[in-house]
Amino acid sequence: MNSARVFPIAFALGLAGLFPISGEVSGRTFKDSQGREIEADLVAVSGDSVVIKRGGRDFTVKISQFSIDDQAFIKDWIQKNPDAEKFRFSYFVDFDAETASSRKVDYDERLQSRPYVCSASVTNRNPGALKGVKVACQVIVEDFVDTRGNRFRALNSGIKPSSGRIQRIQAVAELEEWKPESRVDIDLPFPTEYYVDRDGGRVDNAVSDKILGVIIRVYRGDQVLDEYKKAEDPGGGIDSVPWSDKEVEEGKASIEIKEPRS
């Protein structure tokens, strides 16, 4: 029996190694909404679709295409197998500094600022749509130059701090429905500061804030579906920084959802 004639399914490449779970259902006879039968293994669920294996191949099928009884069976199977749901996302992150020619600098001031923009993109690589999710992006800065504490006073006294406080600037995109291959683009501007030391005619950048990188999380309710970290510089220390919802500054980000080309 040709599976393409039984279910209007899309062949999914390379899923066998991505979705193995202990609660896999083997050799079940499923029915579609029109009563047609197919024998297959139930492998995993992704969004509003399941992955089934038949004849050594993996296929992605929307749950709504199954019979009512099979839909109930699948939902019960998902509840009994919390590791059945697997997620795939792809990420892109870039940091851009505003050029000096477009930045107004007051050389009479010791404290200077340098604005940056973090551009992050997250693409839904799951075969099914995801509903009620949010993408949270946190830029992590090691804040050496801090006029709110004693850092700036320490610098004035010639003491260079060995570490700064962790500063988190966040942007959140909320999606009612995230379609497969659609992309969330986030442009998050944030400032950094540096301290200029003057010794006679010599001007040095004594110390500056350090961009460690970015942490991105995909949530559904309180459930973390995935987490991604990207360092601004290799060995920048972002791997040792945990996610935190405390002392987070909400940034004024530009957020855009881009649908895949048809």
Give tens-digit pLDDT for 141-193. Answer: 988 776 444 455 455 555 555 566 889 999 999 999 999 999 999 999 998 88
Residue ranges matching CATH 2.30.30.700 in the chain = 3-84
The pLDDT assigned to 136 comes to 97
Distance of CA 199 to the CA centre of its chain: 45
The pLDDT assigned to 85 comes to 77
Check if the beta carbon of residue 84 is closer than 8 Å to that of residue 44. Answer: yes
Give the whole-angstrom CA distance, residue 232 versus residue 214. 8
- Written in H, E and C, the secondary structure of the chain is CCHHHHCCCEECCCCCCCCCCCCCEEEEEEEECCCCEEEEEEEEEECCEEEEEECCEEEEEEHHHECHHHHHHHHHHHHHCHHHECCCEEEEEEEEECCHHHCCCCCCCCEEEEEEEEEEEEEECCCCCEEEEEEEEEEEEEECCCCCCCHHHHHHCCCCCCCCEEEEEEEEEEEEEECCCCEEEEEEEEEEEEEEEEECCEEEEEEECEEEEEEEEEEECCEEEEEEEEECCCCCCHHHCCCCCCCEEECCCEEEEECCCC
Structural tokens at position 118: 């973090």
The pLDDT assigned to 100 comes to 46
Residue with tokens 């040709």: 2
CATH number at 3-84:
2.30.30.700
Q: Which residues of the chain have pLDDT under 70?
A: 1-24, 98-110, 146-164, 196-206, 235-236, 262
The pLDDT assigned to 48 comes to 82
Residue with tokens 């945990």: 242
The pLDDT assigned to 23 comes to 52
The pLDDT assigned to 88 comes to 87
Give the whole-angstrom CA distance, residue 139 versus residue 261. 30
Give the whole-angstrom CA distance, residue 124 versus residue 259. 10
pTM attached to this predicted model: 0.69
